Amino acid sequence: MKILVCITNVPDTTAKISFTDNDTKLNKNGVQFIIGPYDDYALARGVELKEQSGGCLTVLHVGEADAEPQIRKALAIGADDAIRVNADPQDSYFTAAQIAHIASQNSYDLILMGRESIDYNSGVVHGLVGEMLGIPSYSPVMKLDLDGNNATITREIDGGKEVLKAPLPLVLGCQEPIAEWKIPNMRGIMTARTKPLNVVEPVSVDDMTAPQTYQLPAPKGACKMIPADQAETLIKLLQTEAKVL
């Protein structure tokens, strides 16, 4: 069993975000980065499947050298080796093309990633990778079990859940509760230092999109507290100020 887990390097959910270069680039100064939370779920399930069925688990990241601490963390959690495509990804298509290129060279049985990154939240990379490789892709996957070369998948759909069975290879976008996040132990941290981390150059891909400008969300307005016995006042405010009724 050969498993590929794709991870993103994203700002911590508590980080304060600002932009540079006329609001066209993220200002990374002082920002703490983490493995994407949905990717963490994919990694955790990948490690569990590797331990159950044997084989090899490779971590892949498309990004620059500042992501290597997060890649080493993934190795400490249980990946066997890692690949970093040395590029600053500009859009989902570029990222998917790099993943598909690496995957096509290594014939992975299972490609896991988060259902979306928490920076751009495009949620399309898994579908693009599946299309480029000519194999099925499913998302968001909440449960994954393997029986030989067949997978049983539970994914979230509007109004409920859907259970599917499909043969490998597959591309899956994962979310909770597919597995519990894993925290690297001291032995994992020590062994991660010597595990292979191969850096490769990207394949040429035409830019499909380019950011025009980034904007921070509007600041939250003042909160009005209405006593519980003043329902009429609350309804009036919802009608005249909030304009939601």
- Number of separate domains in the chain: 1
d(CA 60, CA 202): 13
Stretch 2-20: mean pLDDT: 92
pLDDT at 56: 95
pLDDT at 102: 96
Tens of pLDDT, residue by residue over 51-80, are 988 889 999 999 999 999 999 999 999 999
Residue 171 resides in a domain: yes
Residue 115 has pLDDT above 90, yes or no: yes
Closest CA to 210 of 25, 85, 62: 25
Stretch 197-206: mean pLDDT: 94
Closest CA to 77 of 182, 165, 2: 182
Residue 200 has pLDDT above 90, yes or no: yes
pLDDT band with cut points at 50, 70 and 90 for residue 104: very high
Residue range(s) defining the domain that contains residue 208: 2-218
How many C-beta atoms lie closer than 10 Å to residue 198's C-beta?
Answer: 12
pLDDT band with cut points at 50, 70 and 90 for residue 245: confident
Peptide bond before residue 184 is cis, with ω within 30 degrees of 0:
no
Residue 118 resides in a domain: yes
Residue 79 resides in a domain: yes
Tens of pLDDT, residue by residue over 162-172, are 999 999 999 99
Residue 242 resides in a domain: no
Residue 209 has pLDDT above 90, yes or no: no
For residue 172, what is the domain's CATH number?
Answer: 3.40.50.620
Alpha-carbon distances, residue 74 vs 17, 97, 235 (angstroms)? 25, 22, 51
Residue 38 resides in a domain: yes
Residue 62 resides in a domain: yes
Residue 46 resides in a domain: yes
Residue 222 has pLDDT above 90, yes or no: no
Stretch 1-21: mean pLDDT: 92
pLDDT at 8: 95
Check: CB of residue 141 under 8 Å from CB of residue 174. yes
Average pLDDT for the chain: 92
Residue 242 has pLDDT above 90, yes or no: no
Residue 91 resides in a domain: yes
d(CA 81, CA 8): 16
Give the H or E element holding residue 106: helix 92-106
Residue 28 has pLDDT above 80, yes or no: yes
Tens of pLDDT, residue by residue over 75-101, are 999 999 999 999 988 889 999 999 999
How many C-beta atoms lie closer than 10 Å to residue 164's C-beta?
Answer: 13
Stretch 111-115: mean pLDDT: 95
Closest CA to 139 of 155, 160, 122: 155
In degrees to the nearest 10, what's the CA dihedral of 206, 208, 214, 217?
-140
Alpha-carbon distances, residue 114 vs 19, 46, 177 (angstroms)? 25, 12, 12
pTM for this entry: 0.85
d(CA 81, CA 106): 13
Closest CA to 8 of 42, 48, 31, 49: 42
pLDDT at 38: 95
